[in-house]
Amino acid sequence: MKELVIEKYLNSHEFKTREQLQEETGLCDREIRKQISELKNRRVVIYSSSRSGYRLAKEYKSMSNQQRQEEKRQIEHSLNDKKSRVKVLKKQMRKDIAYLKKAEQIELEEQNYNHIPRID
């Protein structure tokens, strides 16, 4: 499994922006985003549109009930942000799909037109 540099720079106590992570790691923004995306497949990475940055989820067993409730609230907020992005992407995808269907329809019509026997 490929080691992700970004994991060493994120923790469960503070949010870090991509800009901060660029400064600390020396990685470009594209690589930061790529590694964060890969890390999300291994661990819970909290992101919030209302608060800049990313952080790792805290160890659930080590928290008080109040801390657990706050952590769950933040993860729910992060999840809702992801759901919102999915909705936007699905809406955009409908336009792409409609375009491709129309292109296929035009190509099929052109093929059929070119295969019509002529009566001369």
pLDDT band for position 80 (cuts 50, 70, 90): very high
Helix (H, G, I), strand (E, B) or coil at 51: strand
Residue 28 has what pLDDT? 95
Q: For residues 88 and 78, give the distance between their C-alpha atoms in angstroms, rounded to a whole number.
A: 16
Contact 43, 50 (CB under 8 A): no
Q: What is d(CA 118, CA 120) in angstroms, rounded to the nearest whole number?
A: 6
Mean pLDDT along residues 101-117: 85
- Choice among 5-14, 15-24, 45-54, 80-89 with the minimum mean pLDDT: 45-54
Distance between CA atoms of residues 111 and 108, nearest Å: 5
Average pLDDT over residues 62-90: 93
